[in-house]
Amino acid sequence: MRRYDAITLFPEMFTALTGSGITRRALERGLYQVSFHDPREFTNDAHRTVDDRPYGGGPGMVMLPEPLTQAIAQARQRQADALGASGPVIYLSPQGTPLTHGKILELTRLPGLILLCGRYEGVDQRLLDHEVDEEISLGDFVLSGGELAAMALIDAIVRQLPGALNDAGSAQEDSFVAGLLDCPHYTRPEVFGNEQIPEVLLSGNHALIRRWRFKQSLGRTWLRRPDLLAQRGINEEESRLLEEFQEEYHRKTRTEA
């Protein structure tokens, strides 16, 4: 059992995670729990204020440290009661370390996580310095809040949990598992829009199919994410497969030109 506690002003947003698809089924199977802690519950004024103007001026508002500190404390206590210890506090932030498949696998091994979902212009830095263990980013762009990022993180983790997918092999064939992008996929009908699926997929020769799929993964990564190839590296056999893909690709593009 894994437990994920989200510090959020909008817990209702997480129904997209808990109410549909793989993450709903995994929740029903008892593979994980998700709980929410609203900083508004830890305010003392009539307006339940959780933000204020930034010192030094400027646009927007900054989330107050006091309500967040108490919400995190509650999440830590609830996790400790349920798991024996609380997990790290992760702040979903565009300034964080970019999320990768390797990081997802690392987080999957932890029994609990506390996910801090920021809003407005951000969170008081003093809270981040004293309460947050790590900052994680989905990429070089800005969202309206951390809820979508937290849901993406939980979704990516949950699909790695044993029993979450109906076919356990599916997660092992995802993009990035082998440091490469996934190969293209096809289904019925065999001919669609005058285009037929690759003949090798109809051959029944599983060795040839595996070879073709791996070659396509190498080629697609070369085309779309050459940085991944440079980071991963390829051996002599993979290099031959990639050269084969490149010859086929250039031949096809010349024919279509």
74, with CB counted inside 10 A (0-12, 13-18, 19+), is middle
Question: Of 25, 54, 65, 121, which one is the catalytic site residue?
Answer: 121
> How far from 138 is each of 2, 148, 168, 253, CA to CA, in Å?
22, 10, 26, 33
Q: How crowded is residue 120: how many other Cβ atoms within 10 Å of its Cβ? A: 17
In the DSSP assignment, the letter for residue 124 is -
Residue 94 annotated among the catalytic residues of the structure: yes
Q: How crowded is residue 54: how many other Cβ atoms within 10 Å of its Cβ? A: 15
Strands 112-117, 2-7: parallel, antiparallel or unpaired by DSSP?
parallel
Those residues with Cβ within 8 angstroms of residue 37's Cβ, 6 or more apart along the chain or in another chain: 5, 6, 7, 8, 71, 72, 74, 75
Question: Of 38, 66, 174, 238, which one is the catalytic site residue?
Answer: 174
d(CA 207, CA 129): 53
Residue 174 annotated among the catalytic residues of the structure: yes
Residue 159 annotated among the catalytic residues of the structure: yes
**Helices 147-158 and 21-28: crossing angle, nearest 10°?**
60
d(CA 170, CA 215): 19
Residue 12 annotated among the catalytic residues of the structure: no
CA nearest to 184, candidates 234, 226, 219, 235: 219
Query: Which residues are catalytic, by number?
Result: 94, 121, 159, 174
